[in-house]
Chains A and B, each alone.
Chain A
Amino acid sequence: VWDKSENGDWHCTASWKTHSGSVWRVTWAHPEFGQVLASCSFDRTAAVWEEIVGESNDKLRGQSHWVKRTTLVDSRTSVTDVKFAPKHMGLMLATCSADGVVRIYEAPDVMNLSQWSLQHEISCKLSCSCISWNPSSSRAHSPMIAVGSDDNSPNILAKVQIYEYNENTRKYAKAEALMTVTDPVHDIAFAPNLGRSFHILAVATKDVRIFTLKPVRKELTSSGGLTKFEIHIVAQFDNHNSQVWRVSWNITGTVLASSGDDGCVRLWK
């Protein structure tokens, strides 16, 4: 963990070995919950960490302490991604594993980070590599997760799936699959929603792709209905000329950053 000091320099304030396999991803929770991190690893676990304010000596030496609050051991395979849900949903996180299971956990008491309960288990049928929560806090949108897969199997199943929370069944159900994405997906990211009625999703696969998902009016006949989406691809960039590993949006969703196997980071506006 690196901290930025008063004069703008970065210092490494904590470094510790804990998982028994490679750590794939780390992610921060919203500062409203304190200084909280989650990590996921090849060792089939995900963990939640909290910073403990230590002795003043440590502060002077520029060190901070992190304590493991909980270990999530439900997965039977490598956990490939962990992401906190948008803060308006409370203290919630999602993990996805190589065996295709997405798990959603919630800490009902935000002051007690050691109590997490498994709320949902979604089986995606494809090995998962990444997830992204839709950050929109608008009441018009139900909670939504996009799941990407880097499955190498020869089936041409869509490698990006969208799951939406159904108020009636109180479960997450598959709303859409992006049929045009058939290559392994390494990263996926919803853009911040600035009051748009539609969603924007960036996908890192053999190139950079940006999709819009326009909700089509929910069918009144189906029971509380899943939203149907109109999917359009609005951009496709193959400048990396190689696998694209990460995509990430800036705060206003106006710039997308991507990194790829050509060793470059590109900014798209």
Chain B
Amino acid sequence: PSQVVPGADPSARQLCFAWGPAEVLVCETLFGHRGGSPSRGEGGPGRALLPGTLTACVAGTGEGGPSSSRLFVVRKDQDIYIQTLRKLFNESHGIFIGLQRSEEELAGKSRKAQLVQVSKNYRSVIRACMEDMHQAAILTRDPALHSQYSTQVSILSAMELIWNLCEILFVEAAAAGPLLLRLLDWVRLHVCDVDNMVHEVLSSENPSKHELFWNVVDVFVLQGRMDEARHLLSKEASANPTSVNMYKILDDLMKKMPVPSLGNTQTLTEMELKWQHWHEECQRYLQDGTFASNSHMESICKILLGDEDAILEKKDLMTTWYHFLVTRLLYSHPTVKPMELRFYAQACMDLFLGGESSPEPLDTILMAAFEFEMHQVIKECSIALSNWWFVAHLTDLLDHCKLLQSHNLYFGSNMREFLLLEYASGLFSHHSLWQLGVDYFDHCPEYGRVYLELHIERIPLNTEQKALKVLRICEQRQMHEQVRSICKIMAMKALRNNRLGSALSWSIRAKDAAFATLISDRFLKDYCESGCFSDLDLIDNLGPSMLLSDRLTFLGKYREFHRLYGEKRFSEAAKLLLMLMTAHIAPCSFWMTLLTDALPLLEQKEVIFSAEQTYELMRCLEDLTAGKSDKQKFQDDDVETMKVEMLRLALARNLARVIVKEGTLEGS
């Protein structure tokens, strides 16, 4: 199916495109108009061919006149129903995880019961979502929204219908007997078109006089709701004393009808025998003409006998071929076996549709289910539904029931994994639902990890919190390369925005020594220029991460020196300062600054540097100045030479004082 991009200029503007994380950007180009080589042809009308639910909208226009090109954003039409489906995604995620972690050791009946419960949970989530959507449809005033919601409601309803049938046939694998009862429940739950009519008649003052009275009785009979049918008939009986006899007989027949039991109170054979007798009894009454005077009651008796034509006459009350199927089975083969369903199903569908209409996608899916073609069901659903939610979860459940043989796809992963991967990939385009996607990938043994690696790197990291959240997920899974990469990206962003502290903490987290060195250099450079440090808190609390890079260690220690000095712990500060140079922690380029920092310590009233330390300092100064060539010394500006001179003087003075001090005996 193709989607016309609205507003795309048909006159020879081609479309070019690029993939985004969640969408495709399509842009008009002027290829072929001017400046290009003649081999580039002209384009036709702007059209993008996209699967079903993608929509295109104009995203923005460039500045300027007629030569400006427009940019279109093409994305899946998720905006509307993502909101209301969020509940579905969130809650089904919980059920999914629970299923993956559930006790595999439970065998046989208890395991089956567990799986059936999971299936029921999924269905109740679908129903809850349907309710919400229905409410939203009622409350909205926008007709377009209303129709969208209503469409969604019917899609959800169809999904629940299909799931329910799959639950009966595959998960619970109902055997002959209970099978019919389940199917009856299924029909009663899903054919609601007649509910209004039923309600209308029942709530009227005199139901038996209502024009739709017999319709409602028929509905009850068709759905096997004997008690309710009998109840209504009794009202009619009391109103018509002349036909009391007829009613009594019919009532009796309906009361006596054998139904399969859920418990083990009777075997199938027993039931079949009973049913045979009952069937014959009904037959006799019909043939005797007992109901001849009342066409309604006669048709009911025919229905009880499973007369195809009689049942078909009530087509409008059944509305669907599968209702027809179940009714027919109820009154002709109540002990139908699962494997026999397919024959009856096909026949019923053909009869019901009668060549007037052709099967719709929903019909094909249900038929495939009756035929126990699980793969076909999944395939048809994948095609018919616009989002992978349904097939992914259903297939996963069926896989847990050990019903799917590994259907190897070309890249080696089986169908369950394929569908889960598709579903989870789709979640990643949402700004918060991506977190659910992570768990789904975790449970895809073959490709889950690599898909997660690819997707998680592309999550837009707009805020620090989001980045931290993503990082935590990567760290939990030992995805070291992704951690490194994300931290690097965040560090780069911070650096570009001159947030050095943030950049530093990101590079520490990434364990990126090279980058940490670079940022430390920036810090030091800033210090030299401005005379103070930024982000003191961070540097003061580096702790062991200081050791990541030499430059970083120096930065930390240098800051410590300043702190010690500020706290007037001069001798410690002095020791540290000296150590920074002698242990070669400080880069040579910084030595001058360090020596200059030593000046105030040398000028203190108290002698701080010992003789040995002073000798060391002198040696450092000489190393520094000796390293320069004569030419460089000549080019040094006055400030530099003055500094060196001052240092030499201060050092000499300190040496003098300290020799005296150390040479002096205490006390005497």
Residues of A that sit less than 8 Å from B by CB:
2, 6, 9-12, 15, 21-22, 31-35, 42, 51, 53, 87, 111, 150, 152, 184, 192, 194-196, 242-243, 245-246, 248-252, 254, 257, 259, 261-267
Query: Is the beta-carbon distance between B489 and A31 smaller than 8 angstroms?
Result: yes
Chain B nearest Cβ from A184, distance in angstroms: 8
Contact of B498 with A by CB under 8 A: yes
Query: Is the beta-carbon distance between A9 and B17 smaller than 8 angstroms?
Result: no
Query: Is the beta-carbon distance between A267 and B51 smaller than 8 angstroms?
Result: yes
Contact of B63 with A by CB under 8 A: yes
- Give every chain B residue within 8 A of A32 (Cβ-Cβ): 485, 488-489, 492
Query: Is the beta-carbon distance between B19 and A251 smaller than 8 angstroms?
Result: yes
Given B24, B36, B518, which contacts A257 in the complex, CB threshold below 8 Å?
B24
Query: Is the beta-carbon distance between B16 and A245 smaller than 8 angstroms?
Result: yes
Also in contact, A265 and B49, with CB within 8 A (given A245-B14, A259-B14): yes
Instruction: Scan residues 22-74 of chain B and give those whose CB is less than 8 A from a CB of chain A.
Output: 24, 26, 31, 35-37, 39-51, 59-63, 71, 73-74
Query: Is the beta-carbon distance between B492 and A12 smaller than 8 angstroms?
Result: no
Give the interface SS of chain A, mostly helix, strand, loop or mixed: loop
Can you identify 5 A-B contacts, CB atoms within 8 angstroms?
A: A31-B492, A195-B447, A242-B41, A261-B44, A265-B47
Also in contact, A248 and B26, with CB within 8 A (given A266-B49, A267-B51): no
Query: Is the beta-carbon distance between A263 and B45 smaller than 8 angstroms?
Result: yes
- Give every chain A residue within 8 A of B450 (Cβ-Cβ): 194-195
Also in contact, A267 and B50, with CB within 8 A (given A32-B488, A53-B498, A257-B17): yes
- Give every chain A residue within 8 A of B71 (Cβ-Cβ): 2, 10
Query: Is the beta-carbon distance between A15 and B496 smaller than 8 angstroms?
Result: no
Query: Is the beta-carbon distance between A248 and B62 smaller than 8 angstroms?
Result: no
- Give every chain B residue within 8 A of A15 (Cβ-Cβ): 62-63
Contact of B2 with A by CB under 8 A: yes
Query: Is the beta-carbon distance between A263 and B17 smaller than 8 angstroms?
Result: no
- Give every chain B residue within 8 A of A263 (Cβ-Cβ): 14-15, 43-47
Chain A nearest Cβ from B516, distance in angstroms: 13
Contact of B107 with A by CB under 8 A: no
Query: Is the beta-carbon distance between A252 and B496 smaller than 8 angstroms?
Result: no
Kindly report which residue of chain B lies nearest to residue A239, judged by CB atoms: B49
Query: Is the beta-carbon distance between A252 and B451 smaller than 8 angstroms?
Result: yes
Also in contact, A42 and B497, with CB within 8 A (given A194-B447, A257-B17, A263-B46): no
Question: What's the Cα separation between A194 and B18 when bound, in Å?
Answer: 21
Query: Is the beta-carbon distance between B496 and A53 smaller than 8 angstroms?
Result: yes
Given B19, B49, B492, which contacts A33 in the complex, CB threshold below 8 Å?
B492
Also in contact, A264 and B48, with CB within 8 A (given A10-B73, A194-B411, A251-B19): yes
Question: What's the Cα separation between A248 and B62 when bound, in Å?
Answer: 24
Known A-B contacts: A32-B489, A259-B15. Give 4 more (CB < 8 A).
A194-B451, A254-B425, A259-B17, A261-B14
Kindly report which residue of chain B lies nearest to residue A21, judged by CB atoms: B35
- Give every chain B residue within 8 A of A261 (Cβ-Cβ): 14, 41-44
Contact of B139 with A by CB under 8 A: no
User: Which 3 interchain pairs have the tightest Cβ spacing?
Assistant: A263-B44, A10-B60, A265-B48
Given B19, B47, B493, which contacts A264 in the complex, CB threshold below 8 Å?
B47
Query: Is the beta-carbon distance between A53 and B497 smaller than 8 angstroms?
Result: yes
Given A33, A246, A249, which contacts B17 in the complex, CB threshold below 8 Å?
A246
Chain A nearest Cβ from B490, distance in angstroms: 9
Question: What's the Cα separation between A31 and B639 when bound, in Å?
Answer: 43
- Give every chain A residue within 8 A of B411 (Cβ-Cβ): 194, 196
- Give every chain B residue within 8 A of A31 (Cβ-Cβ): 489, 492-493
Question: What's the Cα separation between A51 and B327 when bound, in Å?
Answer: 71
Chain A nearest Cβ from B80, distance in angstroms: 14
Question: What's the Cα separation between A259 and B25 when bound, in Å?
Answer: 12
Question: What's the Cα separation between A188 and B497 when bound, in Å?
Answer: 36
Query: Is the beta-carbon distance between A246 and B16 smaller than 8 angstroms?
Result: yes
Question: What's the Cα separation between A167 and B397 when bound, in Å?
Answer: 49
Question: What's the Cα separation between A76 and B454 when bound, in Å?
Answer: 38
Question: What's the Cα separation between A9 and B71 when bound, in Å?
Answer: 11
Contact of B455 with A by CB under 8 A: yes
Contact of B458 with A by CB under 8 A: yes
Question: What's the Cα separation between A15 and B49 when bound, in Å?
Answer: 30
Query: Is the beta-carbon distance between A9 and B492 smaller than 8 angstroms?
Result: no
Also in contact, A265 and B17, with CB within 8 A (given A194-B411, A252-B454, A257-B24): yes
Question: What's the Cα separation between A259 and B455 when bound, in Å?
Answer: 25
Query: What 0/1 pattern do residues 537 to 550 of B give for CB contact below 8 A with A?
Result: 00000000000000
Kindly report which residue of chain A lies nearest to residue B10, judged by CB atoms: A263
Question: What's the Cα separation between A31 and B41 when bound, in Å?
Answer: 34
Kindly report which residue of chain B lies nearest to residue A269, judged by CB atoms: B51
- Give every chain A residue within 8 A of B51 (Cβ-Cβ): 267
Question: What's the Cα separation between A190 and B252 when bound, in Å?
Answer: 76
Question: What's the Cα separation between A15 and B450 when bound, in Å?
Answer: 37
Most chain B beta carbons < 10 A, residue from A15, A31, A195: A31
- Give every chain A residue within 8 A of B60 (Cβ-Cβ): 2, 9-12
Query: Is the beta-carbon distance between A257 and B15 smaller than 8 angstroms?
Result: no
Instruction: Scan residues 453-468 of chain B and give those whose CB is less than 8 A from a CB of chain A.
Output: 454-455, 458, 462
